[in-house]
Amino acid sequence: MLKINEKAPSFCLPDQNGDIHTLEEYKGKKIILYFYPKDNTSGCTAQACNYRDEIKSFKGLNVEVIGVSKDSVKSHKKFERNYNLPFTLLSDTELKTINDYDVYKEKKLYGKPYMGVVRTTYLIDEKGTIIYASDKVKAKEDAINMLKLFE
């Protein structure tokens, strides 16, 4: 996981509509950049829906919410439609940004090791510096916990 006060790595990734996004286009806004394992799974759906439910609060704070996973653009589009998600979902099928942000790690399922995306949330300031980072994210609480940072 990257550290607080580090410069956030740049990215250039397609969203659920195939449009390309870069970190630089968000200069002047805070960004919640959250990495999650897989579209349409229970934990990832709960996390995304909680961000959806709180999106007006984030917009009021001039904060952009961006989800990133290794799923395809097509998968992201289906996820967006299934749950009416009003924010950007970036597709990193080549794992470049996922690796740049140090969230691709060994995990275990039923005792067997495998590589996967560790649920991680970063808050990046208006100048592109990481000001919060956590890899101890509880999917159902992430959006509310991030809002608490602005109280």
Q: Give me the active site residues, please.
A: 44
Beta-bridge partner residues of 108: 113
Tokens found for residue 104? 């691709």
The one-letter code for the residue type at 111 is: G
Q: How far apart are CA 7 and CA 20, in angstroms?
A: 21
| Bridge partner list, 31 | 64, 124
Contacts for 125 with CB less than 8 Å, ≥ 6 apart: 30, 131
